[in-house]
Amino acid sequence: MQHFPDLGSDLPEFSALDPCRYVREADLALLYGSRELAVALIAQAYLAFDLMLADCDEVTGLGKA
């Protein structure tokens, strides 16, 4: 999967489970003209968000995952 440079961010490298990272990369993919890659990255963002929620006690404590 192609990764684009982070424009203007001085934050440390994001983890693989950070949905915002995938959204930013999808934004850049659209900017560089790759709609297919952008769609794939948005799907990864949804997956990362779901995985983050699976570890959240406030969500899983309700008895539903």
Assigned domain for 5 exists: no
CA–CA distance, 58 with 34 (Å, rounded to integer): 37
On whether residue 32 sits in a domain, the answer given is yes
* Residue 30 placed within a domain: yes
Give the whole-angstrom CA distance, residue 54 versus residue 17: 11
Looking at residue 8, what is its pLDDT? Answer: 47
Segment 6-23, tens digit of pLDDT: 554 444 444 667 889 999
Domain count, the chain: 1
Kindly report, residue by residue over 18-40, the tens digit of the pLDDT: 889 999 999 999 999 999 999 99
What's the predicted TM-score (pTM) here? 0.62
Residue 40 in any domain: the answer is yes
Indicate whether 33 belongs to any domain: yes
Instruction: Write out the residue range of the structural domain in which residue 23 sits.
Output: 19-58
